[in-house]
Amino acid sequence: MTPGIRPLVAGNWKMNGLKASLAQLTAMASQFDAALARNVDLLVCPPATLVQAAAAAAVGSAIAVGGQDCHANASGAHTGDVSAEMLADAGARFVIVGHSERRADHGETDAVVKAKAEAARRAGLVAVVCVGETRAEREAGKTLAVVRGQLEGSIPAGMTAADLVVAYEPVWAIGTGLTPTAADVAEVHAAIRSDLERILGKTESGKLRILYGGSVKPSNAAELMAIENVDGALVGGASLKAEDFMGIAAAYRG
């Protein structure tokens, strides 16, 4: 945790979820009581087909809804893509950009991610910029260099803590059940904070939320969320069920 920074627990549903899945969002909202809401923000990012319905279902709760990706352009001949403006119009307040699955499956470069982060800011959305190393890069001792390069290439100049969240997700830990040691997470998050100070300046870097993602679950959430410079979590599979997601959020229950 970072003193003075309000944590965020975000759920990325990835390519999962039909209309019936919104019952899980409703259950999350019912469990997000005032005592917990005083300590942490919650965000759920369903597939694009459910963003509008999820935003409607979340009305009256303190849960924010976001998208999982956006195109850099506001509109145009881009069949199958969704713009940041469209997400905002559907009720989204955040959008994930640069997730490792987008970088790997769609060949997204840092420059592409940067353009999407700029689009998010243009549309009034908070960009959740993801960074993280592969297993080969970690074993080669390149973790900090890889993450630094992704940060420098993916974050637009002039971003502030109000329109940016950074999520560190070691690629080898996503959906594998593997997690880095607490010391490993602390080292990378401290390096990210230092890199952000160089990129954005001390004032903004000191307020910006840095999330950890990669096989976060109720059983390890308290340990991970207590690490210095870890300001919340970006949760994958465990965010699909209200019991698991709220079990992670419970790490912030006073």
Catalytic residue, candidates 71, 99, 101, 204: 99
Whether 189 is a known active-site residue: answer no
End-to-end Cα distance, the chain: 14
Whether 169 is a known active-site residue: answer yes
- Of 145, 212, 149, 146, the closest CA to residue 181 belongs to 212
Please name the residue ranges forming H helices in the chain: 22-31, 34-37, 51-58, 84-89, 100-105, 110-122, 135-139, 143-154, 182-200, 202-205, 218-225, 242-249
13 contacts 36 by C-beta, under 8 angstroms: no
Catalytic residue, candidates 108, 118, 169, 204: 169
Task: Look at the block and give the residue holding tokens 């997400």.
Answer: 87
How crowded is the C-beta side of 246, counted as CA atoms within 13 Å?
16
How crowded is the C-beta side of 125, counted as CA atoms within 13 Å?
36
- Residues annotated as catalytic (active site), given as ranges: 99, 169
